[in-house]
Amino acid sequence: MVKILANDGISKSGIEALEEKGFEVITEKVNQEDLISTINSENYEVLLVRSATTARKELIDACPNLKIIGRGGVGMDNIDVEYAKEKGLEVYNTPAASSSSVAELVFSHLFGMVRFLYESNRQMPLEGDTNFKDLKKAYAGGKELAGKTLGIIGFGKIGQEVAKRAIGLGMNVLTHDKFTTEASITLSFFNGDKKTFTIETTSLENVLEGSDFVTLHIPKTGEKAVIGAEEIGLMKTGAGIINTARGGVIDEDALMFALDKGKLEYAALDVFTNEPNPSMYLMMHNSISLTPHIGAATLEAQDRIGAELADKIITFFNK
């Protein structure tokens, strides 16, 4: 019997699909420092992770019976992917399963930003009963998203899902991607109608200069942030930026400086440079909308992730 350690969990549908095919699935969390010894002593052949557990060279070398490392999600910066493949392991992720969930979180933050929900939700419990009129005045300068321009940096599956929602709201869309020059995206409507748009990508500079809001959907590569002080300097004064991709893609110090100086009006972060201990300065900043890395954390996405991983594992062992 093939044993699977889903160290960061897996959906019930994924477990059921695997167990129906005779796999044993263990979801009890193993501490990172005990992971190698546990995998070897329990003879696990499959390790499934999300963002909390890492699978580095040391683990790959020390666990010769491991055949598959699966990542429930898109980014695989917590896995030494190329090294694992060199050693003959299969490495899977689920790039499509959580795209809609992440895209919807982007717009949760966008709506909250332009109507100051992130801040008013903090202040209403404190002052709503004694300072209602002043709070109403403070948050009265909201904006509509319709007619604004959304810049999407990274135009893969998630970026394209974001574009669909932006178009549906009547926003203009600018996109940048290192590997894609254009993409066709199809909007499906409640009555069965469909409409396809072909969107051409442009330079990073054009996106930054032309957008009212910028959303990031790119991996973290290297030590340097993709969006630092220089890139923020290209953005419109009063613009907003959202990061639901990876911590470190934005220089957090440069971001807070830009907010404090009025260069940027809004920011939203679902991911942080120092997870799971993000900067308290960020946490307390009045102009940042915050969530604790929940982009893919919907019931629907987790079901799709579990089912997709299960299907890939079943296919591998039945080949």
Encode pLDDT of 199-227 as tens digits: 999 999 999 999 999 999 998 887 899 99
Out of 16, 90, 209, 275, pick the active-site residue.
275
> What is residue 319's predicted lDDT score, i.e. its pLDDT?
58
* Residue from 71, 176, 217, 246 carrying the catalytic annotation: 246
Q: What percent of the chain has pLDDT over 70?
A: 100
CATH topology of domain 3-97+299-318: Rossmann fold (3.40.50)
Which burial class, exposed, middle or buried, applies to 17 when counting CB atoms under 10 A from its CB (0-12, 13-18, 19+)? Answer: buried
List pLDDT tens digits, range 260-293: 999 999 999 999 999 889 999 999 999 999 999 9
Which is more confident, 52 or 236?
236
Q: What is the mean pLDDT of residues 234-259?
A: 97
In the residue annotation, 217 being an active-site residue is answered as no
pLDDT tens string 63-76: 999 999 999 988 78
Average pLDDT, the chain: 95
Please state, in angstroms and as integers, the Cα–Cα distance from residue 26 to each residue in 9, 87, 93, 213, 318, following that order.
9, 24, 19, 42, 20
- The whole-angstrom separation of Cα 59 and Cα 64 is 9
| Catalytic residue selected from 176, 293, 304, 308 | 293
pLDDT at 74: 82
DSSP of the chain, one letter per residue? --EEEETT---HHHHHHHHHTT-EEE-----GGGHHHHHHHTT-SEEEE-SSS-B-HHHHHH-TT--EEEESSS--TTB-HHHHHHTT-EEE--TTTTHHHHHHHHHHHHHHHHTTHHHHHHHHHHHTTTSHHHHHHHT-----STT-EEEEE--SHHHHHHHHHHHHTT-EEEEE-SS-SEEEEEEE-TTS-EEEEEEE---HHHHHHH-SEEEE-----SSS-SB-HHHHHHSPTTEEEEE-S-TTSB-HHHHHHHHHTTSEEEEEESS-TTTTS--HHHHT-TTEEE-SS-TT-SHHHHHHHHHHHHHHHHHHHH-
Q: Maximum Cα–Cα distance for the chain, whole Å?
A: 68
The Cα-based distances of 196 to 9, 103, 163, 234, 236 in angstroms read 37, 18, 12, 31, 30
Known catalytic residue: 275? yes
Tell me if 3-97+299-318 shares its fold with 99-290: yes
pLDDT digits (tens, 9 = 90+) for 87-133: 999 999 998 899 999 999 999 999 999 999 999 999 999 999 999 99
pLDDT of residue 221: 82
Q: 52-89 in b/e burial notation, b at 16+ Cβ within 10 A?
A: ebebeeebbeebeebbbbbbbbbbbebbbbeebeeeeb
pTM, entire model = 0.88
Angstrom distance (rounded) from CA 79 to CA 59:
10
Q: What is each CA distance from 85 to 67, 89, 92, 112, 261, in whole angstroms?
A: 10, 5, 10, 42, 47
How many C-beta atoms lie closer than 10 Å to residue 210's C-beta? 16
Domain residue extents for the chain: 3-97+299-318, 99-290
Amino acid identity, position 175: T
Domain 99-290: which CATH number of 3.40.50.720, 3.90.550.10, 3.40.50.10490, 3.40.50.800: 3.40.50.720
